[in-house]
Amino acid sequence: MRLLVSGGCGFIGSHFIRYVLEHYQPEAITNIDALTYAGSLSTTATFSSEFGDRYEFFCVDIADSKQVSRVLAKHSYFAVINFAAESQVGRNVINFENFVRSNVVGAVTLLDAARQNGVKRFVQISTDEVYGAQGPTGRFTETAALNPSSPYAASKAAAELAVLAAHKTYGQDVVITRSSNNYGPFQFPDKLIPLMIAQALADQPLPVRGGGSQVRDWIHVEDHCAAVFDVLMKGHAGEIYNVSADNERRTIDLVRVILTRLGKSENLIQFVADRRGDDARYAIDANKLRSTIGWKPLKDFDLAFAETIDWYRQNRSWITQ
């Protein structure tokens, strides 16, 4: 069985490729990535030597139908898993067009090419941000209305609607996952956790937005990858699955843990203005995934978060790239 993974040089996509190739035989994976700001060949640098011809890479823009079709014609693929996305929320306020091209046009291009080339299943990787802000209590289920607050979230919601339309119109076998915030090694350095660690290690101010009161639901990237693979193999066509480990934390509390772990003073915290389109709290209910597919997270948050901090401390070249 061969899989095509888009965005496989990014944080979550590269972890997914490693997860599959390490845990399942004889799966083979083709990785396509345009290597934009968040995609780095360093995340997959050892894959060819570790996995041999079970892994191959092509630099491809998923919004370019000719490039995508050429790759899909090379093999008979069981599934396309679309991790590729512009995801830095701060950038979407500056240039919405890039987000539409990558996240909407790119998804539709991949979707069409998969259908035309006889790919059995299409997996769209989405985000809990499509729901918009949750109040101080409660969790969104998969049937909740879409109410995105940022251009990024709107582009991911649009891609989802296109994927579901392909299922309804053409009978295409599709599934969608909506994940909470991921953490772990190899995350792009301008994301919250590696950024805070980098600033602390350099004894520089840690810019915390809006007083740090934002609440996010965190999942280790390896638990997320296991969920995606389970949905790929066991999910029902046309269905959506929330992926959450039920680890809600305030930003300020995460920052304090980082400072404590690194032996740094809280005087480094510098409160800055909130970001436009930022929501106060995200929280999703993953009971559907747990009960119908049998997935559950394996990582203990406190232990895995401490290990993540230590990884960045030991790999300073990554967070200063």
DSSP, res 284: B
DSSP, res 213: -
Residue 97 in domain: yes
Q: Is 160 a catalytic residue?
A: no
Residue 267 in domain: no
Residue 155 in domain: yes
What's the structural domain count of the chain? 1
The active-site residue, picked from 33, 56, 61, 128, is: 128
Cβ–Cβ < 8 Å for 62, 110: yes
The active-site residue, picked from 77, 152, 241, 312, is: 152
Phi-psi region of 22 (alpha: psi -120 to 50; beta: other; left: phi over 0): alpha
Cβ–Cβ < 8 Å for 259, 200: yes
Preceding peptide of 26 cis, ω within 30°: yes
Express each pLDDT in 309-319 by its tens digit.
999 999 998 87
Phi, psi of 3 (to 5 degrees): -115, 150
Helix H or strand E encompassing 99: helix 96-99
Residue 204 in domain: no
| β-bridge mates for residue 293, sequence order | none
Tell me the CB-side half-sphere exposure of residue 184, using CA atoms within 13 A: 20
Angle at 150 between CA 145 and CA 156, to 5 degrees: 60
Neighbours of 126 (CB within 10 A): 24
Look up the pTM and report it.
Answer: 0.95
Residue 311 in domain: no
Q: Identify the CATH number of the domain in which residue 12 sits.
A: 3.40.50.720
Domain of 139 in residue numbering reads as 2-186+219-247+280-299
Q: Is 152 a catalytic residue?
A: yes
**Which one, of 169, 203, 313, 300, lies nearest residue 247 by Cα?**
300
Q: Residues for the chain: how many in total?
A: 321
Residue 86 in domain: yes
The active-site residue, picked from 33, 56, 129, 223, is: 129
Angle at 152 between CA 146 and CA 154, to 5 degrees: 30
Tell me how far apart the alpha carbons of residues 15 and 4 are, in angstroms, rounded to a whole number. 14
Tell me how far apart the alpha carbons of residues 20 and 72 are, in angstroms, rounded to a whole number. 20
Residue 98 in domain: yes
Q: What tokens does 272 get? A: 């800055």
Angstrom distances, CA of residue 223 to CA of 45, 171, 180, 299: 22, 30, 11, 7
Tell me how far apart the alpha carbons of residues 69 and 63 are, in angstroms, rounded to a whole number. 11
In order along its 321 residues, the chain shows pLDDT tens digits of: 999 999 999 999 999 999 999 999 878 999 999 988 777 888 999 999 999 999 999 999 999 999 999 999 999 999 999 999 886 655 545 567 888 999 999 999 999 999 999 999 999 999 999 999 988 999 999 999 999 998 999 999 999 999 999 999 999 999 999 999 999 999 988 899 999 999 999 999 999 998 999 999 999 999 999 999 999 999 999 999 999 999 999 999 999 999 999 999 999 999 998 766 578 899 999 999 999 999 999 999 999 999 999 999 999 988 776
**Which one, of 289, 296, 292, lies nearest residue 223 by Cα?**
296
Q: Is 129 a catalytic residue?
A: yes
Helix H or strand E encompassing 88: none
Residue 13 in domain: yes
